Structure 1
Amino acid sequence: MENSKRPLILASVMLAMFVSAVEATIVSTAMPSIASELGGFSKYSWVFSAYLLMSTVTVLIYGKLSDIFGRKRVFAFGMLLFLVGSLLCGLANSIEELIFYRFIQGMGAGAVMPIATTIVGDIYSREERAKIQGYLSSVWGISAVTGPAIGGILVATIGWEYVFWLNLPLGIVSLLGVVLFLKEPANTKKPAIDYKGAFLLTAALSSLLYLLVEGGVSFDWLSRQSLILAAASLVLIALFVWAERKAADPMMPFEIWKNKTILYANLVSLATGVILISISSYLPTYVTGVMEQPAAIAGFTLSAMSIGWPLAAFFSGRLLLKIGYFKTSLAGGIFLVAGTLLFVLMQPGFGPLWAAMSSFCIGIGMGLTSTAFIVSIQAAVSYEQRGSATASNMFMRNLGSTIGVALLGSILNSSLLRYFADNGENYSLSSINDLLSVDSRAGISTQTLDFLQQALAGALQNVYVVTAFFALLSFILIFGLRGQKGVKSSVK
């Protein structure tokens, strides 16, 4: 790799990450407006679940394919698919169409972030990666400042469709940069694609996701449907593990998990994935529906997390080299617990500043942990396994988010239905749509408005209690990393 080309590749990779980061902040900020226009609040979580399911399943496939066919070709395919999905999302006329198009978008997104991160691992040395990760994480800060602001302006002026279409010019420029400037070593490895593993993983996660999203809403948790879905998920997961151990070139090479750094970093990432999606998905709903703030303010509270993330990530790479892997990760775990507890304590009258402060703490925790994990994991394996190892960490975080958005969405919906029933009211979940815009709130009585806001606030507090549990779990798991000193002591 010519050093003169590295800045151009880095810029292209950062732009790809920006597209991915903006997707998270803008869509979350715009969802109250989308739900208000398209309806279907009961399917609100499916807009996130569809995207997360496909990106979670495909991230492992893309990681393995990038080790076989090279980063450039796989990145290009994923980015093109992501852009097609983005175009179609903006053309959706119903919530069902939007969910379908988010499946397509998610299929492409599975390649963008992990392969962009892997490319950086390929072109920079172990010591350089710690510094470069600070630059990469600054993308989250830029998206935090520009994403919600642009999203709020787009929603308020020309429409929510442009929230998705914004990806198109940025993604094309990033794609051209990687295709034109990235030169890869010749690959003589014979392709061996693990189709059986890909099918079993997709089926297992689909069964589990449907159970978590619809359980307690469309059918009871203790119903026959729930038991069948739970049993199917367990059987399919067991078959996936069995198939991967038998496969000649598995999609998920379990031998890399024998490395203690990779094992515990991935387990913590599973828990933090739940935390991340909880804040990203439901904070705008709280600020917009309960606090009655506009989309721009909801975006500000969410962007506080994205500002804290790069600030912490900038120092995380340096702390990793100075005080060690365990202490850096532990500090991040403390911030995650503190941030989630602040959300549990949040009341409607506290205002958006409290929400922003809580969000900022979560960002600090994510920045300290996630950056340290990526740097150390990439240092722990060879070039031939780097794509799979990086993808495994992204997979676990995405899996956590996939499980989280489904589980928390189910908790939100079932909590609302229980609150309505306990108070003798026959409201449906779609009535929450009336809280998500100024015009719709103006059309309901003060008594109804107060009742629905109390219901939504209580349901979201239940969501935050579960989120705090996962923060505590991640903090405990970090102790499994004790003795890991940092990049220089990682297994080579």
Structure 2
Amino acid sequence: MTLSPLRLRLLVGSLLVVSFLGALDHTVVSTSIATIGGQLGALEHMSWIMVGYTLAATVMLPVLGKLGDVLGPRRVFVASLVLFILASAVCGFAPSMESLVASRIAQGMSSAGLQLMSQTIVARVTSPRERPRFMAIIGSAFPVAIVVGPLLGGLITDYLSWSWVFWVNVPVGIVALVVALIAVPALPGGAHPRFDIPGAMIFTLSLVALVLAVTWFGEGPIRPQALVCLVIAAIGLLAFVLIERRAAAPILPLPLFRDRTIASCLALSAIIGAGLFAMTSYLPTYFQMAYRTSATVSGVVPIATVLGMLIGNLVTGFLVSRSGRYRLYPILGTILGALGMLGMALLPLGLPLWAPAAVMSVVGVGTGAFMNLIFAVVQSAAPRESLGAVTATTNLVRQIGSTLGTAIIGGIVGFGVAALLPSALDAATLTPQAVHTATEALQDAVAEIYHDVYAPVFAALAAVYALGVVVAAFLPAGRLSDENPTEPAIAPVPATA
């Protein structure tokens, strides 16, 4: 579908605002969790404010992707936005932790729909050549939300109340809804009208079990339950593959994943999740312990990483839209990511904070170079009736990579620090504040321990990015088309592209 330049700008602006709302809702709550848990009298369950949101957003991706293909992305997008506004209002009024978590689950489901349908709508109204530029613009919402969210959440919690962390979504969401109703065109569904209910149910159950398994595995008392969930997830995923091979209208069209372009993009998406997204949540603790910074100053390095990601994302999107050639950027991006992570592993202690900030900004630029580009490429390799499903799967493998990577890194860091700490210190109660008030010798010892534990983690992530270089090299050379066909739109060109 071809839109006028004015309507296209209005559409992209609307999708950017909505994508920012969805991304912000995940980060703005992080600084308010302790306050919310204390006021609702459920500190021991406060992690479910985030876990419930993430779990719902993850498991709903393939279902919403298929619904977008069947019903049309506009209907799913508008319904998701309405649910998001209502759920945000209910969250602010929640009288108990149970009701808040239930509302957060609804928020997570709707947030997945907003993110996924924004990407699908762009794919339906633009040519493959235009797509990287608009994907980069909409994708910039995520890195900006990472920086702005915690700060905004802290300010709202300190000067208003935690309820406003959720209520702020309502007026902005209503404005975005009005604009979306005007700007988003009617986009009919094109997929098989039947819906694979057994496949959707089995897949959702398997993903829930998998996420719970990796979330609980690091907690000793409930590790047996984590192993049970892992077995359930393995059996469920095997059953899902068998169901999808026979389904008339599968929610994940398995034959598409034999395509070299699609398979390579899915692997790159998983590498982003496992390589960078999983690490960012552990960087502040590392710098507070190894570099002895305050909590505020420790955020400088993640901010540098995110700014690099934003620059890489926007520059690459505009360059690919100009030339149509895309293969070089994932290769260069994964090389930068590997070199940056290796640099972090080799950095000695005692350097000023600008040194790791500069190194991690290189990782950010490299990751940003293909973070949203792969969505444009994978969509261009799929038929129109499968755009929602293939976009959902690309998001899904990134989220799973991030979840698994976060659990693995957390387990390694927790075990390594506990094993190396002096007997005078208890890893379960160790805080940056306690270390910063300790003797100089003890501070040096803790800094050395954290450096020694994190260095192999950075080296392993460098290996993950190095694997990404190989995967990116397998991407077929091609040039994105200027037309907007319903069939795959990557035109073969000589291997030098």
| Larger RCO (CA within 8 A; separation ≥ 6) | 1
1:143–1:209 Cα change, 3 Å: closer
Offset of 1:87 from its aligned partner? 5.2
Q: Contact 2:191–2:385 at 8 Å: present in 1 too?
A: no
Structure 2 CA distance, aligned partners of 1:238 and 1:157?
A: 50
RMSD of aligned alpha carbons: 3.9
Residue of 120, 123, 131 corresponding to 1:121 = 123
CA offsets, 1:264-294, max 9 Å, x none? 1101111211123223322233345654545
Structure 1 CA distance for aligned equivalents of residues 466 and 31 of structure 2: 27
Checking the alignment, whether the CA contact within 8 Å between 1:30 and 1:151 is kept in structure 2 is: yes
The alpha-carbon distance between structure 1 residues 20 and 469, as it changes in their structure 2 partners (threshold 3 A), is: farther
Q: Which residue type is aligned with residue 214 of structure 2?
A: L
Q: Closer, same or farther in 2 for the Cα pair 1:226/1:162, shift >3 Å?
A: closer
Give the structure 1 partner of residue 426 of structure 2.
Answer: 427
Query: What do the CA deviations read for 1:287-322 (whole angstroms, capped 9, x no partner)?
Result: 456545455544443232332223222332354464
- Counterpart for residue 376 of structure 1: 377
Residue deviations 1:347-397 (CA, integer Å, cap 9, x gap): 664454234323322221222112321121222223222111221211111
Preserved CA contact (<8 Å) 1:257 1:263: yes
Residue 487 of structure 1 is aligned with which of 480, 490, 495?
480
Partner in structure 1 of residue 486 of structure 2: none
TM-score, L = length of structure 1: 0.82
Aligned equivalent of 1:263: 263
Give the aligned residue type for 1:171.
G
User: Shift of residue 47 of structure 1?
Assistant: 5.8
SS at match of 2:199: helix
**Match for residue 203 of structure 2 among 201, 204, 213:** 201
* 1:238, distance to aligned residue in structure 2 (A): 0.6
1:173 maps to a residue whose letter is V
Structure 2, gaps ≥5 residues long: 482-488, 493-497
Aligned counterpart, 2:365: 364
Return the TM-score normalized by structure 2.
Answer: 0.81
Tell me the residue number matched to 2:275. 275
Give the SS at the match of 1:252. coil
Kindly tell me: are residues 33 and 478 of structure 1, through their superposed partners in 2, closer, same or farther at Cα, counting changes over 3 Å? farther
Pick closer, same or farther for the CA change 1:428–1:283 going to 2, 3 Å: closer
Is 1:468 aligned to 2:467, yes or no? Answer: no
For residues 77 and 107 of structure 2, the distance between their equivalents in structure 1, rounded to whole angstroms, comes to 14
Q: Which amino acid is the alignment partner of residue 311 of structure 2?
A: L
User: In the alignment, is the contact (CA less than 8 A) between 2:62 and 2:396 conserved in 1?
Assistant: yes
Q: Distance in 2 between matches of 1:39 and 1:341?
A: 44
Partner SS, residue 126 of structure 1: coil
Amino acid at match of 2:472: I
* Match of residue 175 from structure 1: 177
Given that residues 51 and 106 in structure 1 are in contact (C-alpha distance below 8 angstroms), is that contact kept between their aligned partners in structure 2?
yes
Cα deviation per residue 1:437-470 (whole Å; 9 max; x = unaligned)? x6x888x755898477666665555544443332
Report if the CA contact (8 A) 2:59-2:208 is conserved: no
Residue number among 63, 66, 76 corresponding to 2:65 in the alignment: 63
Counterpart residue identity of residue 427, structure 1: D
Deviation per CA, 1:55-114, whole angstroms, max 9, x where unpaired?
221111111101111212212332344445555666789988876654443222211212
Range moving further from structure 2, 238-247 or 14-23 = 14-23
SS in 2 for 1:125: coil
Deviation string, structure 1 residues 187-207 (Cα, Å, up to 9, x no partner) = 486642222222222222233
How far apart in 2 are the matches of 1:325 and 1:299?
33
| Partner of residue 304, structure 1 | 304
Say if 1:157 and 1:23 are closer, same or farther in 2 by CA, change over 3 A.
same
How far off its partner does 1:334 sit?
0.9
Contact 1:381–1:491 (Cα < 8 Å) also in 2:
no
Counterpart-to-counterpart distance in 2, 1:441 and 1:177: 51
For residues 410 and 394 of structure 1, the distance between their equivalents in structure 2, rounded to whole angstroms, comes to 24
> Residue 186 of structure 2 aligns with which residue?
184
Matching residue of 1:238: 238
Query: Cα offset for 1:5?
Result: 2.2
Q: Which moved more, 1:355-364 or 1:52-61?
A: 355-364
Bigger mean CA deviation after superposition, 390-399 or 122-131: 122-131
Seen in structure 2, the aligned counterparts of structure 1 residues 85 and 449 have a Cα distance that, compared at 3 Å, is farther
Where 1:486 maps in the other structure, the secondary structure is: strand
Partner of 2:410: 409
Provide structure 1 residue ranges, at least 5 long, that are not aligned to the other structure.
none
Q: In structure 1, what is the equivalent of residue 251 of structure 2?
A: 251
Q: 1:228-280, CA deviations, whole angstroms, 9 ceiling, x for partnerless residues?
A: 44433221111111111121111111122122111111011112111232233
Q: Given the superposition, is the C-alpha separation of residues 188 and 131 from structure 1 closer, same or farther in structure 2, using an over 3 Å criterion?
A: closer
Is the Cα contact below 8 Å between 2:316 and 2:329 reproduced in 1? Answer: yes
Distance (Å, rounded) in 2 between the aligned partners of 1:41 and 1:476? 45
Distance 1:93 1:417, change over 3 A: farther
TM-fit CA distance, 1:116: 0.5
Offset of 1:184 from its aligned partner? 1.3
Alignment of 1:51-200 (within 5 A): 51-86=53-88, 102-140=104-142, 142-143=144-145, 146-147=148-149, 149-151=151-153, 153-154=155-156, 157-158=159-160, 162-187=164-189, 191-200=193-202
Distance in 1, Cα, partners of 2:380 & 2:55: 28
Mapped partners of 2:402, 2:166: distance in 1: 20
Deviation for aligned residue 1:336: 1.3
Name whichever of 110-119 and 314-323 sits farther off: 314-323
Q: Which moved more, 1:11-20 or 1:410-419?
A: 410-419
- Supply the distance in 2 between the matched residues of 1:27 and 1:343 (Cα, whole angstroms): 29
SS at match of 2:185: coil
Correspondence for 1:326: 327
Mapped to 2, the partners of 1:460 and 1:33 lie a distance apart of 30
Aligned to 1:315: 315
Q: Residue 325 of structure 1 aligns to which amino acid in structure 2? A: Y
1:403 maps to a residue whose letter is L
- Aligned partners of 1:476 and 1:36: how far apart in 2? 48
**1:238–1:298 distance in 2 versus 1, CA, 3 Å:** same
Letter in 1 for 2:467: L
Instruction: Compute the displacement of 1:401 (Å).
Output: 1.4
Higher mean C-alpha deviation, range 231-240 or range 30-39: 30-39
Partner of 2:484: none
Mark the CA change 1:71 to 1:147 in structure 2 (over 3 Å): closer, same or farther: same
Checking the alignment, whether the CA contact within 8 Å between 1:82 and 1:105 is kept in structure 2 is: yes
